[in-house]
Structure 1
Amino acid sequence: MDLGIRLLAASALAAALATATAAAGEPSPTKAKVDFARDVRPILSDACFACHGFDEKERKAGLRLDTHEGAIAKLKSGDAAVVPGNLEESGLVFRVETDDEEMLMPPKKSGKTLTPAQVDVLKRWIAEGAPWSGHWAFEPVKKAEPPKPAEAARARGPVDSFLLARMEAEGLKPSPTAEPAALLRRATLDLTGLPPTIAEADAFLAAVAAEGLDAAYEKAVDRLLDSPRYGEHMARYWLDAARYGDTHGLHLDNFREMWAYRDWVVRAFNSDKPFDQFIVEQLAGDLLPNPTPDQLVATGFNRCHVSTAEGGSIEQEVYTRNVCDQVDTNGSVFLGLTVACARCHDHKYDPISQKEYYQFFAFFNNIDGPALDGNRSRWEPFLPTPTREQAEKMKALDAKVVELKAKVDAEAKRFAAGYDPKADDARPEVVAREDFAWIDDAPPPGAAASGTGDFVGKASHPVKSGRRSLRIEAKGLTQKIVEANGPKLKVGKGDSLFAHVYLDPKNPPREVMLQWKVGGQWARRAIWGENLIDWGKDATVERLRIGDLPADGEWARLEVPTAQLDIAPGTVIEGWAFTLFDGVAYFDEAGLRTWTPQEGRAYPNLTAWIRDRIADDGAGLADDVKAILKKPRGQRSEEERKKLIDLFLAAGWSEVEKAVGPIRDEVAKAEMERKKLDDQVSTTLIFRERAGEPKPAFVLNRGEYDQPKDQVGRVVPAFLPPLPSDAPADRLGLARWLVAPEHPLTARVAVNRFWQQVFGVGLVKTSEDFGAQGEPPSHPELLDWLASTFREEGWDVKKMMRRLVTTAAYRQSAKATPEGLAKDPENRLLARGPRFRLDAETLRDQAFFAGGILVEEMGGPSVKPPQPSGLWEAVAYVGSDTGVFQADEGPRKVHRRSLYTFWKRTAPPPQMATLDAPSRESCRVRRERTNTPLQALLLLNEPQYVEASRALAERTLREAAGTTDERLARMFRIAAGRAPEAAELAELAAALKDFTAHYADKPDQAKALIETGATGPDPALDPRELAPWTMIGNVILNLDEVVTKG
């Protein structure tokens, strides 16, 4: 395809059709009486608080300017920084005006200076008596009476009254109402993330003609709020805040299965779950009485942080980092504060001490699971989320296993009744070393198996012992993990761990590793072959190279003394992992060579059982049985001997095991089927408290995990209302405290983000920072009115969104006037309708929607649409299961909504990242909005956008019979939401004529253009006709009016 002609045509046509773009900036301040919170505090915070603020350790000269008492207090010199009403006596005035660089404040070395206007504000404030008020965001929410603006008739409710009053004060006038078609497109994009269809637009315009704009528009808004697309669109903003991703985010950045949480968020918005309940379930759904599976899924909010299992990672360090992320995220999302600044020291600007940071930390400091993710998608704690069909099948298999095990017990009792112990008399009751196979034919009873690999039968696979072996096939790094929930291996002195392996001669692995879980850590590893698996520190027990790979095509025994792995006698082996790098191998009969008695074993005779019981001093047996065991065989009475026989038969006689073997095979088969089903069932990470007393929390010196200082309890920051006396000091108590009526932040922060979502900028522009360093609200009384109303109306999000998009301010035309741009370049006062570029996901979804190829299937696993090659590989480590990008195939996956795109955090989807989508490595409540040449190039040339342009062309040629102008008009209306004007139509027709001439004698270029993308063109259409129309589609989808909400 010819990039030059495409760029030229797009830029020319865009220039012909573009509308004015609002510039960035702040409205000019009024000259009214100085307001401390609005005018003075921001100056002090930015220029003074770092050295004269809350952080006592950094405070200079004993002067504190973040409190009224500190500002007017006399210093050691006898002077005060602020003497209300007296400029000459106020040391602050002298220090900010002096020409002496030694005395000037802020000092030159700070890199900060005050403007003359800022100095004037400080002087006027002191002259007016230096009135003081607390930081606006920490004061109780007060519901002010809406003002009565002069043009009250323009107001459609209290929100407009506040806005109009401020406009009038600034000498601005509101804009006229937007054209109905533009208004419908704006609202449809804001509430569903998609443009309206032509049918929806026609129905709306007909309703406007019949009922009037007000009634028709309100009905359209209600229809959009009821659309399932609404929840998908709202979820996208929340998932930025929740830092949702499909990978762990660090080191290997392996796959993490959490899409059930994403789908929960969509359902929550669609069902209009009250926002206070939405918060409580995410923070503490597991602590609610009898929590539902959905409420457990919701707690994934606190598990979305990045994680690692990198070799050499220190568990406590990673654990601390994980909890700090939860603290910082909750602080940003619900409090709108930069609490992370208090991790290492007292906050320099806001009243959050380091101690209070770790008191907040204590609420999250008790998760029941390991800090390291093990490079597994199923990182404890997690919740299986089976489909209804899977759940029914699991229930049936569980019942079958119970029935078969009952048969085993019945048969064992029947067979054991005929046991004759006389043959055992000749065997010595001595301890002897022997192999104890812990894994053979299947995982041990009750064990949890995960990873890749299946137990296969001897009919078509090599098997050393029993009826099955474990087959693992690897491309790169692959692992099968078995974790004990039942019998475990207990290590004795001089023992060794062993496993038998058969390397496939047709595809032998490059490295074999055995790994064991000890003390909750997978930190004991033995390797054979190449040293390709970089887990743990080399040449230590974390990565101990034993030797070369054994010969392939035959069974070989791998054995490592436990002493060599630094596993002390008495240690319990909690898990076993078999790992390959490339190739195919079979494992069989793995366990411990020991003389220490093991749980769960079968005994060939009574003597063997007695021998083990003597060896472990009768552990677990009654005192009278221990006394019997201490007697020599010949001194035991018949009654004592019978008691031992009964215990032996109950423990497991190997002959009984042989008798019930066929039934056990059926049990194993059913359990295998159940296990395979378990592996197929999706899971999601959840939060769960560990049992017992909460884990203690400490202030950490400079935030270092290994430098604990004073122990702290679960307490909320002192500048906010306290936890109710009857509230539990846990996450549930914290969540309910956040949504309590007296809390000054949560409702303000929430409605501000809804406002930001609709109008482009929040009433508080710094929506991530409501603290001293953040910008004060442009309309403080309006913010409080919205926050109060939100709470009073039951935290109803749909009602709030409806209120915002039905305001007269929202319904205005977005066209800017020179006067409006000069007075309010950022449109903070909303004298015109909101206008800004669409977000990354909306741009892609809109293009597919316009082409008629958007797949609107909801929910399910994330999908991988095509992207440039090599991006994942560039950041990949050896062994990562997301190291190589493999695009999905077929429109059902590659044309899904962008919400469902797989999000690898170390390499986010490039189409999204280029258009300012965050990496989701950390919480983001406000996206930056940039305009770069790369973005324009992406929209013009990225294959999926070109494919969408072709689909729009195909749709037009199929659906719009008639003249060329009629087809062009329809294509334009599909994308822009309105009919083109005559001049615009002429521009399009001229461009089509040029493109047609270009491709007439360039069939190869035409073919290359229309074959761009994951799906092929309609074979019924002539490439030489389709290519020019594809270019027109490309141009239209790149128009400023189309990529912008206006």
Structure 2
Amino acid sequence: MFPPLSAKIAFCVLAIVVDAATARAQVPYADDLKFFENKIRPVLVKHCYACHSQDAKEVGGKLLLDTRAGLRKGGESGPALVEGEPEESLLVQALLYDDLQMPPEEPLPEAIINDVKEWIRRGAPDPRQPKKVVRQRDGSTVVSDEALWSLRPRLNPAVPEVQTAEWCRDPLDRFVLARIEAANLKPAGDAEPAKLVRRLYFDLLGLPPTKTEVDQFVADHQRRGAVAVSALVDQLLTSPQFGERWGRFWLDFARYGESNGNDGLGRNPTFPHAWRYRDYVIAAFNADTPYDRFLTEQIAGDLLPSDSPEQQDRQRVATGFLALGSKPAKAMNTNFEMDVVADQIDVIGRGILGLSVACARCHDHKFDPIPTRDYYALAGIFTSTETLWGTAAHEGLTAPATDLHVLQAAPHVTPPEGFVETVLVLESNTGRPKTPPKSKWKSGTPLAMGVRDRAKPADTKVNVKGEMSKLGEVVPRGFLSACELSENIEVDPTQSGRLQLSQWITHRDHPLTARVMVNRIWQQLFGTGIVATPDDFGVYGERPTHPELLDHLATRFVSGGWSVKQMVRSIVLSRTYQLASDADAKLIEADPQNRLLARHARRRLEAEMLRDSMLLVSGQLQLVPGEGSLVRHRDILVNLAGSLHQASSHRSIYLCYLRSSPPPELAAFDLPDFTTVIGQRDVSMVPSQALHLFNNPFVIDQAGHFARLVTNETASPEGRVRIVWEWAFGREPSPAEIEKALELVRVTEVELSDREKAWASLCQAVLITNEFRYVD
């Protein structure tokens, strides 16, 4: 608990927070859009569209929930929602089974209902527009060409002519400026060098620059202008911190986690070998592994030739991409194997291709042109693949080795089943743990998660309504029929088909792969993608704001050797990226959602960047990579082990990412649960975040370390305030800020009778300001 603070202290803290902030308080529209896409749209599709969509055989109550207009118009009972008022909305009343009952089978979980309430409280932001979906005589659906934009062949559009050509620094700028000029608007001015350097450091490294680095860049920019920016970008791209920043974004939709999560029986066993995949991803981004090769290794690395044992190990570790998913309980689950396959198809579909292929498991996709046969053509590839929990790596593996241990847990616990080589041991029925058998692996044997081909690959049968017990026709292994390539790729009948799948996905003519990835890169640099629904390029996903720009970038990406670093470099050196986030009222009024890209968007730091920044300014951050995993010697059930989270001064990507038990330093700031593909995190503003910043031991500890560093630098109170501002914000404090900061220190010292805590209070106040937590 904090000691009681006087109103004067509270006022001083508030004054510093407000004075240091330059961001507008309102939540950007893009954040609400993310909430809808991640929390609301999937629920509507899964639980509502069968009866309340244009594709339903009979629309229940004349209520259509598959468009924004239909939801607001309502049905026989009236409008389904009242924007901003969840308690008055019929939709919420129906979900709560208050007179109306939706869905009729059983109520939805409380967490989902709370999400719907929060969405309506935000004003029910909804980007959906009606699409042309036509039912055929045979019952299948056909979508208009307009809706199938993402499956059209990728083009290389001509760079448009613009009125102010000298404004452009990169061809991509012309695509943006053409739209701005067509709207009779002018873009914002360039970002100030001090703000631009901070933006570049965060976007490329995930860390803030020091005051010295800011000053050096500003001086260089005054001398050399754009040349200074180019030199800085090249320097940052070669930093080992680049892979840690960009690897973290990849791990989100690779659903990386170091435990299984709740499997339905209340169990959460650890994945003590998952960390090798994390390190593989970081190394791949640092080495600028071509994206087509990066995908191939993750889908079929075990099937690729290798020049050395080390390369063979790296490729096998890469296949952890397919093995890391959260597995359901096999007990009383007759669909266990196909549930695992569904997860693998989903990470390929939504993660790489931007299509919800997994929706076709039970029936032809309701909206996208993905028939059930296509789903089982892919499923045959993964039923011909074994998922390995603890695969032995080659002795030549250079990464830190881990011992194989076994589980000793309470007798009522049943560990996960269904894996070829499990590192867990069942308990006896006598109520006492069995003596663990001697491991078949020698001590120190490196282990990893991954996949391999089954001994006898084979096609699979359609599971009628998704049930393994109801089998239909055999479907030959293959790929999505709606994606046409210039050459035919067929599955090798002697293999699973994963190698051919990777060849199909990375074919230079594939309409989706490059588009999806450059959109994700753009999203990381601007906050929102050219397609605002990065995991859904289908009928009910958002259309690109700049379709020609998307194809231009995708074409450059492929022709440039699939280089992620080169694509990042091209974008950040553009005039569009380097615009200021401030703009005149006319521009904001004309384009409040910034769909024209006429200004930059101010963004809150993600949880990992906020923690890492606190460690950096407090002098505690260790930039050497974290070794292995915090759970690498613990094959246990998380829910029986107490907290496995240990204090660490390494970057946040090396923390222990347990499903259902996230790192406590990060949990308050919209950390995903890592059980499914997440291409864009939520950004919420709730009271618990403020409480976290005020009361979390990690934040308090960093403020203490920060204060000790500052007080050891100088005895001058004014000098100390200057150091605090320089280290935290990379700038000098204003006279008013110095006065307020010193007043806070004086009053707090009187209240607490402790000078050290008084300076720590100032440092904590600075660490929780908007200026520290946001980047322009």
TM-score (norm 2): 0.79
1:215 maps to which of 227, 232, 235: 227
1:368 is paired with a residue whose SS is strand
Matched residue, 2:298: 282
Distance 1:59 1:273, change over 3 A: farther
Instruction: Tell whether the 8 Å contact from 2:328 to 2:339 is kept in structure 1 after alignment.
Output: no
CA-CA distance at 1:351 after TM superposition: 0.7
Q: Distance in 1 between matches of 2:277 and 2:744?
A: 47
1:343 maps to which of 342, 361, 369: 361
What amino acid sits opposite 2:505 in the alignment? L
Q: Distance in 2 between matches of 1:520 and 1:1030?
A: 51
Instruction: Tell whether the 8 Å contact from 2:165 to 2:174 is kept in structure 1 after alignment.
Output: yes
Matched residue, 2:17: 14
Q: Distance in 2 between matches of 1:879 and 1:119?
A: 48
What amino acid sits opposite 1:247 in the alignment? S
Matched residue, 1:668: none
1:144 maps to which of 144, 154, 157: 157
Matched residue, 1:299: 319
Share of identical aligned residues, percent? Answer: 33
CA-CA distance at 1:271 after TM superposition: 0.4
Matched residue, 1:24: 28
2:169 maps to which of 134, 153, 156: 156
Distance 1:390 1:913, change over 3 A: closer
CA-CA distance at 1:762 after TM superposition: 0.5
Distance 1:385 1:829, change over 3 A: farther
Instruction: Tell whether the 8 Å contact from 1:383 to 1:686 is kept in structure 2 after alignment.
Output: no
Matched residue, 1:920: 674
Describe the superposition over 1:935-964 as per-residue Cα deviations: whole angstroms up to 9, x where unpaired: 1221222111111111111111223x2632
Matched residue, 1:1029: 759
TM-score (norm 1): 0.60
CA-CA distance at 1:52 after TM superposition: 12
CA-CA distance at 1:268 after TM superposition: 0.2
Instruction: Tell whether the 8 Å contact from 1:9 to 1:1035 is kept in structure 2 after alignment.
Output: no
Count, aligned residues? 682
Distance 1:753 1:59, change over 3 A: farther
Aligned pair 1:188/2:201, yes or no? Answer: yes
Matched residue, 2:500: 733
Instruction: Tell whether the 8 Å contact from 1:365 to 1:697 is kept in structure 2 after alignment.
Output: yes
Aligned pair 1:715/2:445, yes or no? Answer: no
Q: Distance in 1 between matches of 2:128 and 2:655?
A: 48
Q: After superposition, where does 1:410-425 map in structure 2 within 5 Å? A: none
Distance 1:527 1:795, change over 3 A: closer
1:744 maps to which of 499, 502, 511: 511
Distance 1:849 1:711, change over 3 A: same
Matched residue, 1:271: 287
What amino acid sits opposite 2:256 in the alignment? Y
Q: After superposition, where does 1:966-1045 map in structure 2 within 5 Å? A: 966-1000=719-753, 1024-1045=754-775
CA-CA distance at 1:830 after TM superposition: 2.2
Aligned pair 1:254/2:269, yes or no? Answer: yes
Distance 1:4 1:747, change over 3 A: farther
Instruction: Tell whether the 8 Å contact from 2:12 to 2:743 is kept in structure 1 after alignment.
Output: no
Instruction: Tell whether the 8 Å contact from 2:313 to 2:394 is kept in structure 1 after alignment.
Output: no
Instruction: Tell whether the 8 Å contact from 2:323 to 2:387 is kept in structure 1 after alignment.
Output: no
Distance 1:933 1:521, change over 3 A: closer
CA-CA distance at 1:696 after TM superposition: 3.3
Distance 1:879 1:755, change over 3 A: closer
Query: In terms of Rg, which structure is larger?
Result: 1
CA-CA distance at 1:16 after TM superposition: 2.1
Aligned pair 1:329/2:347, yes or no? Answer: yes
Matched residue, 1:1012: none
What amino acid sits opposite 1:697 in the alignment? T
Instruction: Tell whether the 8 Å contact from 1:300 to 1:687 is kept in structure 2 after alignment.
Output: yes
Distance 1:1031 1:285, change over 3 A: same
Q: CA RMSD in A?
A: 4.3
Distance 1:707 1:912, change over 3 A: farther
Matched residue, 1:907: 661
Aligned pair 1:684/2:448, yes or no? Answer: yes
Q: Distance in 1 between matches of 2:10 and 2:359?
A: 46
Describe the superposition over 1:172-231 as per-residue Cα deviations: whole angstroms up to 9, x where unpaired: 32122222111111100110011012232232233223x323111111111111100000
Q: Which runs of 5+ in 2 are unaligned?
A: 31-44, 60-69, 78-90, 92-99, 104-124, 133-142
Matched residue, 2:393: 383
Distance 1:802 1:7, change over 3 A: farther
What amino acid sits opposite 2:480 in the alignment? P
Distance 1:390 1:228, change over 3 A: closer
CA-CA distance at 1:822 after TM superposition: 2.2
Which structure is higher in strand share?
1
Distance 1:132 1:922, change over 3 A: closer
Distance 1:830 1:996, change over 3 A: farther
Instruction: Tell whether the 8 Å contact from 2:354 to 2:535 is kept in structure 1 after alignment.
Output: yes
1:360 is paired with a residue whose SS is helix
Q: After superposition, where does 1:180-579 map in structure 2 within 5 Å? A: 180-209=193-222, 211-249=223-261, 250=263, 251-256=266-271, 257-290=273-306, 292-307=312-327, 312-314=331-333, 317-368=335-386, 379-383=389-393, 388=398, 451-452=405-406, 476-477=409-410, 527=428, 529=430, 531=431, 578-579=434-435
Aligned pair 1:930/2:687, yes or no? Answer: no
Describe the superposition over 1:509-543 as per-residue Cα deviations: whole angstroms up to 9, x where unpaired: x9999xx99999999989474x377xxxxxxxxxx
Distance 1:727 1:715, change over 3 A: closer
Distance 1:836 1:521, change over 3 A: closer
Distance 1:388 1:743, change over 3 A: closer
Aligned pair 1:788/2:572, yes or no? Answer: no
CA-CA distance at 1:712 after TM superposition: 0.8
Q: Distance in 2 between matches of 1:7 and 1:234?
A: 38
Distance 1:231 1:965, change over 3 A: same
What amino acid sits opposite 1:11 in the alignment? L
CA-CA distance at 1:317 after TM superposition: 2.1
